[in-house]
Amino acid sequence: MKAISSNVVKSLSQKSRCTCTDNSGAKIVEIISVFGHKGKKRAHPSAGIADLVNIVVKKGKPDIKSKVERAVIVRVRKEYRRIDGTRVKFDDNAVVLVDEKGQPKGSEVKGVVAKEVGERWPKIAGMASSVI
């Protein structure tokens, strides 16, 4: 994965529930694993902003409910620090569903997206209403 320009705190762990902020049909999702996680034995994988995660859809349309999908984290509640010294935090934890190639499944992203997501996933940032 491409590096991002901030000190991201890995605040979302396994079993964390997030809202899905695109129009793919999912509403509430649960993180089950993190791609590229390297950790100690018996340590739970954790993820931060702009990370690719495996999720299972808990609430949503019946055709997508209880399916395992891939998603990118676009907002986190935990405050993190950028290189210029500013600190950023959002109101909720949110993800966007993507396919195997990293292309978004929905056609629009509701709400704001962090700048770090735009560095690593430019298609998602291009679909968002605003980038902070």
Report yes or no on 127 lying in a domain: yes
Average of per-residue pLDDT across 82-88: 92
Q: Is 3 domain-assigned? A: no
Q: Is 1 domain-assigned? A: no
Does 2 reside within a domain?
A: no
Q: Are strands 94-98 and 87-88 parallel, antiparallel or unpaired?
A: unpaired
The residue segments making up the domain with residue 29 are 8-131
Task: Specify if 43 maps to a domain.
Answer: yes
Its pTM stands at 0.92
CATH number of the domain at 89, please.
Answer: 2.40.150.20
- Using pLDDT thresholds of 50, 70 and 90, give the confidence band for residue 69: very high
Q: Is residue 108 included in any domain, yes or no? A: yes
DSSP E strands, 35-127? 46-47, 52-60, 68-75, 80-82, 87-88, 94-98, 109-113
Domain count, the chain: 1
Over the stretch 21-56, which tens digit does the pLDDT of each residue have?
999 999 999 999 999 988 889 888 999 999 999 999
pLDDT value at 5 more than 80 = no
The answer to the question of residue 112 being in a domain is: yes
Tokens coding 33 = 């694993």
In a domain, 63, yes or no: yes
Scored b (16 or more CB within 10 A) or e, 48-66 reads bbbbbbbbebeebeeebee
The closest of 35, 22, 24, 16 to 125, measured between CA atoms, is 22
Question: Quick one: three-class SS letters along 66-89?
Answer: CCEEEEEEEECCCCEEECCCCEEC
Q: Quick one: what percent of the chain has pLDDT higher than 70?
A: 100
Contact of 106 with 23, CB cutoff 8 Å: yes
